[in-house]
Structure 1
């Protein structure tokens, strides 16, 4: 297709001034400036980086350190401007130029990761946006379709209704008339925004975001109360919408809370006779290795959502609400498991306890013999050049000489682990209380960090590249083939979001185990070793992502030629990605760690 080209040439030797007016038939968004988005502490940090870059700029052509200082500020400023582009009072867009619309998961994950650098108003915008788009059952919208995408989806639904009408009109007239009526209703407004409620992780994420906001002591109870009674979005007070969403979470969690057997975990719906549809962030066809029970939802998000509901209940009382009274007085809410949680404290605690134990279904333990056998089988399946390269890595690192413990990416329909090593435990590292250094907690952290940092093809880590998002060496060959066909969440890619979660998660462990001066709080030999392990993992992860030269991409890949691994851009990566600008929080946090970095 050839588009029209307009050429403008100056008749005189002076600039041409143009005024461009952009119009839309959609409601305008209210932009947010950096002063509204970022804390004063972060803006001082950004200004310090600018001043340092200005001082270094003259030496940058001749001095590598000066060039790095200049480059660092440019990237910080780019990410700040990217955040401004994606942020509005009404919603946070997921990316540009791709995904330039609301994505609930991206928005909420970014809100959690950016908490150290965002103003207190930003969670309010995020929560209000999510509540505004809740489905009838309290579902959080995964994404919105608007403009041309809305027209395509509405037209597709129209065609489906009309097909049903023609199929039924001779034998079931009433049903045919219903289909025709639905089709005609769509024609009234083919551009009507559509919401996608097919995912489940965002249901469990919203309570975590809300709990962080409501328990923030920097926000007054008066402000929290005003925010929750606000009904300016036209859907009633936000407190009612919030309770509806919490009721859905309680309903989803109730079966396992009451009877903690594997089949009561949150399950994916069928995609077809032999496949399960993804309901979390690895939303490619191969993402969860065709598992029915996804680890991140069941082992990370569901337990924390219930813990967050408990925190929300307490915080609501402080903000001037009685959630027990509100739920009991609601004809719809009073019949949900949310009422059971609120009015039966013993059941509430049992529910949290049961869900905290769900992680045990996903634990995989492999001996060195298991590792060597399965890794060699996978390497034999690879092209010769890649096989030779990874065998060289094994010879150099001896990564296959020690046992490996990790959390499987998912469980199959029988509740058995699908043994794909993955980066999702980084979310748990990020969300957990880093100050909990009990023996069991530290052992779990070490398990998760070790699997991420073990050299691929045993674990996930690749020098000068980063942690691969998955390693399927221990899974059946059918999983290898699925990832070969669909590489989006495969062992071929590193995700920027996951790198930032790993870094923030490791920083969380370090800060939790050390005091304000950087000293280990309980300086036993074991704790000193633990903190050193976290610091080493953080340094390796940071340096590998930096060395890739691609860390600000949404995701990146690699190619192996001539015995060398070369980082390459992933084809579908987008230029400005909401959860990639979380590197701003990473940079801010890292400068405050009390050890040489």
Structure 2
């Protein structure tokens, strides 16, 4: 048997026995513990490896059909992981609890390192791992083990409990001479192996392997060790992720700066833990835009890591930006399934349409507007591509930028043409896709084909950025883009909102909200007394489910336009736009977007079709729930719009030619006061929910006794029918860390 008893020991013990030791680190490992019942999250980062361990254990109020005892171990390297589900041996659901505890093995975790070769092939990559102690409150059975890829685990957790025999049948289970048990699987590349072992921490414990390879544990403590031989990533320390002027954050908020570091690597920044420990183009670019004031600049800095990762993964044939990469064991499986080929070549998902537009916006923000970025532009653009895929190996970053910009210009041209401002000429989802922007769940945009955020904000903002890049000689032989892109942008800014605008007369609005509150069984006040006029908002998308012309769901996606655009076309349109945003933020759910738990990203109360209430629920991923980064983007967006009213502020309030323009809404006392009040109400909500801000998304329940919305993990809420389990929601994503600069920088210039 390959896994010997001494292989279970932490690095310190291995050293004492004369086993190979890991390369020495100049600093102690970073550990982080983020409890969020029923999930308990542990992070371990050293110079050799980074890993997350998540323990799920039912709570007294848990929905036992959704929450069961589970151990997840996830590595950013290769997007790899281990997942094990446990059940009480007595069969009584909810009677078993598990936890990771401090022990002589680690406090609670320790790293392992072994230079022995793989059991298959001639790979010499060391085995990197983690070890700790897990405690079972009663005898338990290991019901489902998954070894290899986080994507494989996601397919099981998020889908219909999907397990692939080709992967599951390759798990080798065996007993160990020290009373423990081992699970081992060789990846589809026939080189990499993932190992998981459990050993009794005392003579009282026992692990029994049955004839059908089921593991049974007695009550007590067990040492677990998980390891694999796959090349690790080079992590950026908190000091390497942040600018020199922002390093004080490491003292003021060490927990979140450590978490930010866990997601930051020299070649890419990751989306989130634990289910998305890999590259996501949209997420990393939104994060970089929001975190731009504090992210490190220059060569080997975090900003350039984000941009380079996006450029490396562009589809050179059409300029599309990669949404999510597929690497490691899952890439090998996907290559075989899709092409019938044995290949470990990484793949990219290009189905999203919004990712394309963030690239020129971010390029302009860094390489034109930032003084450090300006000095780096020439060198960076001359970098040869090909680090991620050989398909781009004969191109430079400058060429990749141009390929993406040309795609955007081509997509913009038709709608911007003379008398061509029709719905058909707007940007649609790609054929055959039901998702295409950040609300990328089944009902995220209600089946819509023409997303609000992409057409009214991302397209014109990207065109403004392309015009600026062209004026700064980023594109060879495309000097005419400087004027053309600005002309296109003005049309898209002025003419797109009308397609999405929804106006509900006051009396009808009150009736709709009252009916909606009854439909969902909402026990709090329906807030119809706060509706003091016609309600206006913008539909999530056009051409939705059930033949809906508009997906009439109030939402937070106004934030994109507030944050990404500061030009002014129609003054009347701008005034109405900022005012309706403020109204919808100020009103409490179900009449508006505000709750004590935060601002919900969707409110279906004003939709005429009952399908909206069924699909946009407090248990839906993009339903009546709170996301952290839209809070940040809305706060910064409203700050920017209010900042345009300040003559002394030279960084805002300009058109694209640099001329100062104070918008008309600034001189309208009612509208300006409304926007200012909404800004402060939103900030009050953000500050009141700081305990939630390390999470990607959370929900709420209404407490009748205290008449308040109580923040609640989304993972414990029942999802809409047919959308699959949401157990094990992210504990944090890179996007959420925009808030730790914002929380301490609420603008005093506009604060009441």
Q: Give the TM-score, by structure 2 length.
A: 0.61
Structure 1 residues 229 and 489: alpha-carbon distance in aligned structure 2, compared to 1, 3 A threshold:
same
Q: 2:346 aligns with which of 193, 196, 199?
A: 193
Instruction: Give yes or no for contact 1:421–1:471 (8 Å, CA) kept in 2.
Output: yes
Q: CA shift at 1:512, angstroms?
A: 3.0
Cα offsets for 1:140-177 (capped at 9, x unmatched): 100012223324433432xxxxxxxxxxxxxxxxxxxx
Partner of residue 559, structure 1: 701
Q: CA shift at 1:91, angstroms?
A: 0.5
Q: CA shift at 1:236, angstroms?
A: 2.2
Q: 1:410 aligns with which of 541, 550, 557?
A: 541
**Is residue 2:328 matched to residue 1:124?**
no
1:128-527 matches, cutoff 5 A: 128-135=308-315, 136-157=317-338, 182-183=339-340, 186-187=341-342, 189=343, 191-219=344-372, 221-231=374-384, 233=387, 234-258=393-417, 259-269=420-430, 271=432, 277-316=434-473, 323-325=475-477, 343=480, 348-356=485-493, 357-383=495-521, 386=522, 388-391=523-526, 393-394=527-528, 398-412=529-543, 416-433=549-566, 440-462=573-595, 464-475=596-607, 476-484=609-617, 487-491=620-624, 493-514=625-646, 526=667
More deviation, 554-563/130-139: 554-563
Instruction: Give yes or no for contact 2:366–2:373 (8 Å, CA) kept in 1.
Output: no
**Is residue 2:680 matched to residue 1:539?**
yes
Instruction: Give yes or no for contact 1:560–1:566 (8 Å, CA) kept in 2.
Output: yes
Q: CA shift at 1:536, angstroms?
A: 2.7
Instruction: Give yes or no for contact 2:578–2:675 (8 Å, CA) kept in 1.
Output: no
Cα offsets for 1:433-453 (capped at 9, x unmatched): 289995643432222222233
Instruction: Give yes or no for contact 2:599–2:682 (8 Å, CA) kept in 1.
Output: yes
Q: Distance in 1 between matches of 2:111 and 2:549?
A: 63
1:81-100 matches, cutoff 5 A: 81-100=258-277
Q: What secondary structure sits across from 1:32 in the alignment? A: coil
Q: Distance in 1 between matches of 2:490 and 2:605?
A: 33
Q: Distance in 2 between matches of 1:539 and 1:28?
A: 44
Structure 1 residues 512 and 546: alpha-carbon distance in aligned structure 2, compared to 1, 3 A threshold:
same
Q: CA shift at 1:248, angstroms?
A: 1.3
**Is residue 2:185 matched to residue 1:29?**
no
Cα offsets for 1:460-512 (capped at 9, x unmatched): 111x2111110112221122223349711112x11111111122222223333
**Is residue 2:733 matched to residue 1:577?**
yes
Structure 1 residues 469 and 517: alpha-carbon distance in aligned structure 2, compared to 1, 3 A threshold:
closer
Q: Distance in 2 between matches of 1:310 and 1:16?
A: 58
Q: CA shift at 1:348, angstroms?
A: 4.1
Structure 1 residues 595 and 263: alpha-carbon distance in aligned structure 2, compared to 1, 3 A threshold:
closer
Q: Distance in 2 between matches of 1:347 and 1:522?
A: 24
Partner of residue 175, structure 1: none
Q: Distance in 2 between matches of 1:483 and 1:300?
A: 23
Q: What secondary structure sits across from 2:702 in the alignment? A: strand
Structure 1 residues 32 and 368: alpha-carbon distance in aligned structure 2, compared to 1, 3 A threshold:
same
Instruction: Give yes or no for contact 1:257–1:355 (8 Å, CA) kept in 2.
Output: yes
Structure 1 residues 529 and 38: alpha-carbon distance in aligned structure 2, compared to 1, 3 A threshold:
farther
Q: What secondary structure sits across from 2:591 in the alignment? A: coil
Quote the RMSD (CA, aligned, Å).
3.4
Q: Distance in 2 between matches of 1:199 and 1:517?
A: 36
Q: CA shift at 1:16, angstroms?
A: 8.2
Q: Distance in 1 between matches of 2:346 and 2:505?
A: 52
Cα offsets for 1:95-148 (capped at 9, x unmatched): 122200000000000011011222333332211110101113211100012223
Q: CA shift at 1:534, angstroms?
A: 3.7
Structure 1 residues 524 and 241: alpha-carbon distance in aligned structure 2, compared to 1, 3 A threshold:
closer
Structure 1 residues 231 and 444: alpha-carbon distance in aligned structure 2, compared to 1, 3 A threshold:
same
Q: What secondary structure sits across from 2:524 in the alignment? A: helix
Instruction: Give yes or no for contact 1:407–1:448 (8 Å, CA) kept in 2.
Output: no
Q: Distance in 2 between matches of 1:544 and 1:220?
A: 35
Q: CA shift at 1:350, angstroms?
A: 4.0
Q: CA shift at 1:529, angstroms?
A: 5.3
Instruction: Give yes or no for contact 1:299–1:355 (8 Å, CA) kept in 2.
Output: yes
| Unmatched 5+ stretches in structure 1 | 51-72, 158-181, 328-341
Q: 2:242 aligns with which of 26, 30, 38?
A: 38
Q: CA shift at 1:568, angstroms?
A: 0.7
Q: Distance in 2 between matches of 1:562 and 1:211?
A: 49
More deviation, 232-241/128-137: 232-241
Q: CA shift at 1:87, angstroms?
A: 0.9
Cα offsets for 1:8-66 (capped at 9, x unmatched): 8999xx9889873253655543322333322233224x27xx4xxxxxxxxxxxxxxxx
Structure 1 residues 204 and 450: alpha-carbon distance in aligned structure 2, compared to 1, 3 A threshold:
same
Partner of residue 109, structure 1: 286
Partner of residue 80, structure 1: 257
| Unmatched 5+ stretches in structure 2 | 17-102, 114-126, 129-227, 388-392, 654-661, 716-727
More deviation, 538-547/283-292: 538-547
Q: Distance in 2 between matches of 1:517 and 1:226?
A: 32
Q: Distance in 2 between matches of 1:374 and 1:15?
A: 61
